[in-house]
Amino acid sequence: MIQTIPSPVTSAVAVTTSSAAGGALGEFPLTVTSLADEIALRLERAIVDGAYPPGSRLRQDELCARFGVSRTPVREALRKLQARNLVVVAPNRGATVRIPTRKELMDIYDVRAELEGYAAELAAAHMTDEVVRRLDGAQADLERLIGRIGDSRPAQPEAGSPLATALNQANDDFHRVVMDAAGNERLQAIARDLGRMFPKDYVWRAMKDVAEMRALNVAEHRRIRDAVATGDAAAARSRMRDHIRHARTVLLCYLDQLGFWS
């Protein structure tokens, strides 16, 4: 049972305008946020968070019931997600969460490594006490959550579980601080779009034990933090790039063993 999507969706917000030339424009409502946009946003979040894994069927009747809407906004929302390359809509077969190829996943992580490495370089160049404070706060939250797992091999966190959600959020917060400190909005937007192309919780599932989890998300994060804090731009870029590539290696090994593409 997926619990991450609240329902029903509230109705669209509408406003009217007035016109000094006779009010003709005021006769037509302007939709600020459509139902389809809201449904697409919530589904996108659920897909990225792993509530709908790759290959999952998105049944229109179930979505209509969950959101309390007719089929029309649901169909439009699915078309929007197809345009974002998140789902595949096939005639008479409905919608399915898209499964990226192995090469696509490698390419995504290669580009992410370069973009986030560049962001870390910029963050180090723009280092302030506030940036370091925010990095330390995000990392402290992440390490506290990892500490709750203990020393034994963790069970793969269930998609949408409180622990999986909190781990993803804390990790995102650390990387977001770096992106914010970089001060490049276009870079942020591109990196954010790449991050939406595969469920986040798969990397957590992929780690074979807590030691690997700590190596990736404690030791490497601390090294990135130290490079940013000391203003060492070259080291910050290199360490962040290696960190993303390490995550890619862990993820691909896990998916290969899982027979994900077969």
Amino acid in the structure at residue 113? A
Q: How far is Cα 83 from Cα 43, in angstroms, rounded to an integer?
A: 14
Residue spans per domain, the chain: 13-97, 102-258
Ramachandran bin of 111, using left for φ above 0, alpha for ψ from -120 to 50, beta for the remaining angles: alpha
Give the Cα separation of 243 and 75 in Å (integer).
39
Instruction: Read off the tokens for 38.
Output: 């809201």
What pLDDT is stored for residue 24 in this prediction? Answer: 44
Predicted confidence at residue 157, as pLDDT, reads 56
| Strand intervals (E) in the chain | 13-15, 30-33, 57-58, 87-90, 94-97
Q: Which two tokens stand for residue 44?
A: 């996108």
CATH of 13-97 given 3.30.930.10, 1.10.10.10, 2.60.120.260, 1.10.3130.10? 1.10.10.10
What's the Rg (C-alpha) of the chain?
21
Q: What is the Cα–Cα distance from 178 to 238, expressed in whole angstroms?
A: 14
Superfamily of domain 102-258: GntR ligand-binding domain-like (1.20.120.530)
User: What is residue 22's predicted lDDT score, i.e. its pLDDT?
Assistant: 42
Identify the pLDDT of residue 215.
95
Q: How far apart are CA 108 and CA 94, in angstroms?
A: 27
- List pLDDT tens digits, range 9-62: 655 444 333 444 444 434 444 343 488 999 998 998 888 777 888 889 999 999
Distance CA 124, CA 111 (A): 20
pLDDT score at 2: 41
pLDDT of residue 156: 55
Low-confidence ranges of the chain (pLDDT < 50): 1-4, 12-33, 152, 155
pLDDT at 47: 86
pLDDT at 1: 39
